């Protein structure tokens, strides 16, 4: 039976870079953020979001993700409400994806909120990617159209590296991408032995 490995880390840690590296090695990687964006286009999910958050966050029937993000990162209870809509849809999508990838000995599930969502209990092993906070902030500010204040709200909504590391089987510190890839290779060797 296929083993499912969780891959997580805070925003800007480089977990997506590690996920892309795994794909380049031929491993199937399910990216929960991409899946979240996909399921948020499903009619039943759109309807549930309208019912919970109103129509003000829609422009011409299209969800304004920035407006929704502003609400949920300023009000933690609203984030929980959104997660209660989106997470079940992502879980169902992942189940279908997993059925399609049964031929691989390992698949990876990449998510920033693996622990926060409670889904970490469903994985055979968990890898956490870490980086110093200021490095993470610099990476995200260069990559995304956000400001430091909004970014810090998003970071505060996630677990700390220390909390993630305490529940992980393997840790990759991502200060240098080549060294981080070598660390991932090391994990893959350990995985094949066990």
Point out the annotated binding site.
12-17
**Residue numbers belonging to the annotated binding site for ATP:** 12-17
3-state secondary structure 55-112: CCCEECCEECHHHHHHHHHHCHHHHHHHHHHHHHHHHHHHHHHHHHCCCCCEEEEECC
Pairing mode of beta strands 62-63, 58-59: antiparallel
123 touches 3 (CB < 8 A): no
What dihedral do alpha carbons 67, 30, 112, 187 form, nearest 10°? Answer: -160
128 token code pair: 């956490």
Ramachandran region of residue 154, left (φ > 0), alpha (ψ -120 to 50) or beta? alpha
């Amino acid at each position: 039976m296929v083993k499912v490995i969780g891959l997580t880390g805070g925003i800007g840690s480089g977990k997506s870079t590690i996920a892309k590296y795994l794909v380049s090695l031929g491993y199937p990687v399910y990216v929960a953020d991409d899946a979240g964006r996909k399921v948020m286009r499903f009619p039943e999910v759109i309807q549930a979001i309208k019912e919970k958050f109103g129509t003000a966050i829609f422009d011409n029937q299209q969800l304004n993700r920035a407006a929704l993000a502003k609400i949920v990162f300023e009000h933690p209870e609203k984030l929980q409400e959104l997660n209660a809509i989106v997470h079940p849809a992502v879980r169902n999508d992942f189940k279908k994806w997993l059925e399609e990838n049964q031929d691989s000995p390992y698949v990876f599930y990449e998510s920033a909120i693996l622990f926060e969502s409670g889904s970490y209990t469903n994985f055979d092993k968990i890898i956490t990617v870490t980086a110093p906070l200021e490095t993470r902030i610099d990476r995200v500010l260069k990559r995304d159209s956000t400001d430091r204040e909004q970014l810090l709200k998003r970071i505060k909504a996630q677990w700390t590296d220390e909390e993630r590391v305490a529940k992980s089987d393997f840790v990759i510190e991502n200060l240098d991408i080549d060294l981080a890839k070598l660390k991932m290779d090391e994990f893959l060797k350990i995985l094949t032995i066990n």
